[in-house]
Structure 1
């Protein structure tokens, strides 16, 4: 029989054990301190301290006060924002954090991408890794191998040039011309041809993209995640969701299902045929393929959503900045004329001989930061970052806008100045230079944009070929809006204001 003394001893030991466990946990958590950040309110956290239309600017303000790693809360979600290229690299590229911080938080697009069978918003897994590597290698090789695809691309550049100058020295809004140019460019990449003007699916790319970015807007995405039944009901949220599904299916049919039906071995027309060939080869060898039909469709959707929007934003901002900085345009033209001339078309290999042109591109991506927050990451387990505890379940925002406009790093971050990336001899700074390390428009690590090589090469060729042909000047009959990224509209991805300009043909162009 247990005596009262035994009971007291057991209780004392149990209490001591519990005290020790909680003390150790407390000391462990205190020693691994949580990141600083603004104080929030019960239940809602910091939700009402943040303007969702300008969250990148709100977070930069928090970073200016609390440091490069901050913690805040949106209702029940713990959020970490990183405004240092070093911390972003450590979190997403280096062990051990990269092993547990590269998943994605839930969103309303899962069904759009057949249960996350794509790259951008999918969790990190074996198939995601394979799909990324496949896309990274295939897209650039398919397009830059020469032959028909490059010829078609050169033709589209010439058409863009003619569209810009067709008004004969009148004000032109370049936006719609660039959209047409890019939908043709991506069509060439995917299937090796552009669609005819009479084709009813000609504009389906932008139809899908425009709807997708409405769907992932925080206000729409939040409502559909919180109340999934809205997807099936009439009204704004259900309508957006169903329209996106319809546009997705149009793209899938025209650019995959029809393409697969007409596929012939030995005739590679574009990236979709490369996917089909890879799938058939694996099926023949093993009877199975990780590259399913739905994964190929997801790769197509990723190419549209990332490729078309990023190239569009860069080219549009490039034209606006050339209007504001004629001295930059003059120097850029001089380098184009010296290295490329006016008798041949530019090629991606020209970049290595054109440091100022590369500096112009880097400064556009830094200054504009038109995707201010990269796609959020999800941290699956507790991890330490620079002595701070990043708790399991936290959503991590890479704040590229804050990285690219840090006053300590850049000195004058709100000035557009390509020369910052050149040394005294006019050469491009080495890749390990602090400024080069802090330009990360395509993010870093395992989740960096797999199509960035393709995007960089197409942007370079388009910019230099336009500089061969035209001079970009401010409009005559309208005001040119400022290019200051602090004034950009709330639209996601972030965009500069719509504007008009004039395109003056250069003389003696024979290409």
Structure 2
């Protein structure tokens, strides 16, 4: 029979279970909400997920809203990790420049590690190996003409091919993305491989297609971003499939690049380095190069150069053309200055740039208005640091909100509007701004910045000199300028336009 003792025993067991459950919940919440001593404040989000469900399609905008509450140095819980977000120019400069060595690490992110296998340059951690590879890259790019007249000549030669490809559309609406990407990539090819490719070359187009995978597709871009924020999701069914497609592309690219490197090895002449690959092979053959300058490092280094050197400048030019289509009065003003300086036939050159203030203002406004990498590539602290009075431990992931700098109303009046004139003084002279930082700042700023700025100027000037860019007459609305595929980079959605010869 059911006795009082049995009831008491049952109640005691229930009480123990409830107490134990409360203890577990309390410890879990304590662990979730605790921070290191003197750590920056910020939102914690949900257990296990952190703030990820609240980021939306534009994490940089959500971050700025939070930073208004918590300050320009704040922490956010990304999945199970605490990141520190730098939310204005002063804190970014203080961290990445003034304490550049301490803030120049790269966090180990599983989804990126599986792509790079710990090699290449862009996602390699800060250290002696990275320093040596970057020094080699800078010296080799300079050696093959970057920043010099010889590189200008290569770019202007490629512009002629691009203009011919545009004319072939005979004023009909088309999407410029592929031929623009091929043109920009050919500048990288001339440095890295010592040759350019025809826009219809099969192997060249296969490389370009696979390199651009995921950058222009909003769904794939979002998945890549989520996997960076929360790598553990790579094993979930949907994310696993998307990640498998990404890795298939990576393997295909590496296979194609391996064939190109094999061709270089077969024809290698130590007394005649034709390009970047030859220069790397020369280092590889030197006495001290065996451990650092490996075949795997070469393949991923070249892949980094192609992605960083192609997608960024291509997307910047596509944003520029969208701005011209949306603002025909700006396009006309830009063309007026270009024709005044160059006429209809003279080839653009970097020496013309100082006497083209409106063109310079237009370019700087594109960099500001459509920030290509809104949250920058993540950094990591190499040691315990102090920033704005907060203590940030070694190994903390750092994100810099460059978009917030470019849209800071304290720096820019009406930041959401496209206004090249904001970069001119009252006499019409161009004013270079330290607050426009599309290539980041500090020791890890973009390796190819000089090349990218040269390409942007010469390509833009030549295109506006030769063509008027108009909306697709068959489209009901102008192409979208306030939306894009926002993943690792913020790039335009596909669009058609008309290029009318002027």
Pairwise TM-score range, normalised by the shorter structure: 0.7 to 0.9
C-alpha distance in structure 1 between counterparts of 2:308 and 2:413, whole Å: 31
The reply to whether residue 448 of structure 1 matches residue 445 of structure 2 is yes
3-state SS of the aligned residue for 2:439? Answer: coil
C-alpha distance in structure 1 between counterparts of 2:66 and 2:209, whole Å: 36
Instruction: Report the counterpart of residue 22 of structure 2 in structure 1.
Output: none
- Identify which range, 440-449 or 383-392, moves more after superposition: 383-392
| TM-superposition CA deviations, 1:367-426 (whole Å, max 9, x none) | 000211111112244321111222344221111111111112112111111111111122
Instruction: Report the counterpart of residue 226 of structure 1 in structure 2.
Output: 232
Q: Aligned match of 1:415 in 417, 422, 431?
A: 417
Instruction: Report the counterpart of residue 252 of structure 1 in structure 2.
Output: 257
Q: CA deviation at 1:308?
A: 0.6
Instruction: Report the counterpart of residue 457 of structure 1 in structure 2.
Output: 454
Alpha-carbon spacing, 1:37–1:154, altered in 2? closer, same or farther (3 Å): same
Q: Aligned match of 2:187 in 185, 188, 192?
A: 185
3-state SS of the aligned residue for 1:495? Answer: strand
5+ residue gaps in structure 2? 1-33
C-alpha distance in structure 2 between counterparts of 1:106 and 1:35, whole Å: 22
3-state SS of the aligned residue for 2:112? Answer: coil
Alpha carbons 1:321, 1:483 under 8 Å: kept: no
Alpha carbons 1:207, 1:247 under 8 Å: kept: no
Alpha carbons 2:73, 2:85 under 8 Å: kept: yes
| TM-superposition CA deviations, 1:124-166 (whole Å, max 9, x none) | 011212222332343254145556x755543431222122232
| TM-superposition CA deviations, 1:297-354 (whole Å, max 9, x none) | 2221111111111011111011111111222222222322233333432223332332
The reply to whether residue 74 of structure 1 matches residue 78 of structure 2 is yes
Alpha carbons 1:201, 1:254 under 8 Å: kept: no
Instruction: Report the counterpart of residue 467 of structure 1 in structure 2.
Output: 464
Give runs of aligned pairs for residues 68-147 of structure 1, distance below 5 A.
Answer: 68-95=72-99, 98-113=101-116, 115-144=117-146, 145=148
Instruction: Report the counterpart of residue 10 of structure 1 in structure 2.
Output: none
Give runs of aligned pairs for residues 6-85 of structure 1, distance below 5 A.
Answer: 33-51=38-56, 53-85=57-89
Alpha carbons 1:190, 1:270 under 8 Å: kept: yes
Instruction: Report the counterpart of residue 14 of structure 1 in structure 2.
Output: none
3-state SS of the aligned residue for 1:251? Answer: helix
Instruction: Report the counterpart of residue 494 of structure 1 in structure 2.
Output: 490
Give runs of aligned pairs for residues 36-435 of structure 1, distance below 5 A.
Answer: 36-51=41-56, 53-95=57-99, 98-113=101-116, 115-144=117-146, 145=148, 153-196=155-198, 199-211=201-213, 217-221=224-228, 225-226=231-232, 236-237=241-242, 239-240=244-245, 242-280=247-285, 282-283=286-287, 288=290, 290-429=292-431, 431=432
Q: CA deviation at 1:120?
A: 0.9
3-state SS of the aligned residue for 1:93? Answer: helix
Alpha carbons 1:373, 1:398 under 8 Å: kept: yes
Q: CA deviation at 1:363?
A: 0.6
3-state SS of the aligned residue for 2:120? Answer: coil
Alpha-carbon spacing, 1:397–1:481, altered in 2? closer, same or farther (3 Å): farther
C-alpha distance in structure 2 between counterparts of 1:456 and 1:234, whole Å: 36
C-alpha distance in structure 2 between counterparts of 1:30 and 1:493, whole Å: 30
Q: CA deviation at 1:478?
A: 1.1
C-alpha distance in structure 1 between counterparts of 2:259 and 2:145, whole Å: 20
3-state SS of the aligned residue for 1:447? Answer: coil
Alpha-carbon spacing, 1:490–1:450, altered in 2? closer, same or farther (3 Å): closer
3-state SS of the aligned residue for 1:275? Answer: helix
Q: CA deviation at 1:475?
A: 2.5
3-state SS of the aligned residue for 1:78? Answer: strand
Alpha carbons 1:60, 1:402 under 8 Å: kept: yes
Alpha-carbon spacing, 1:30–1:289, altered in 2? closer, same or farther (3 Å): closer
Alpha carbons 1:209, 1:305 under 8 Å: kept: yes
3-state SS of the aligned residue for 1:409? Answer: coil
Alpha carbons 1:488, 1:497 under 8 Å: kept: yes
Alpha-carbon spacing, 1:204–1:260, altered in 2? closer, same or farther (3 Å): farther
C-alpha distance in structure 1 between counterparts of 2:35 and 2:241, whole Å: 47
Instruction: Report the counterpart of residue 22 of structure 1 in structure 2.
Output: none
Alpha carbons 1:189, 1:270 under 8 Å: kept: yes
3-state SS of the aligned residue for 1:163? Answer: helix
C-alpha distance in structure 2 between counterparts of 1:70 and 1:104, whole Å: 18
Instruction: Report the counterpart of residue 436 of structure 2 in structure 1.
Output: 439
Number of aligned positions between the proteins: 463
Alpha carbons 1:481, 1:499 under 8 Å: kept: no
Alpha-carbon spacing, 1:341–1:196, altered in 2? closer, same or farther (3 Å): closer
C-alpha distance in structure 1 between counterparts of 2:365 and 2:239, whole Å: 45
Q: Aligned match of 2:475 in 462, 475, 478?
A: 478
With normalisation by structure 2, the TM-score equals 0.83
3-state SS of the aligned residue for 1:352? Answer: helix
5+ residue gaps in structure 1? 1-28, 507-511
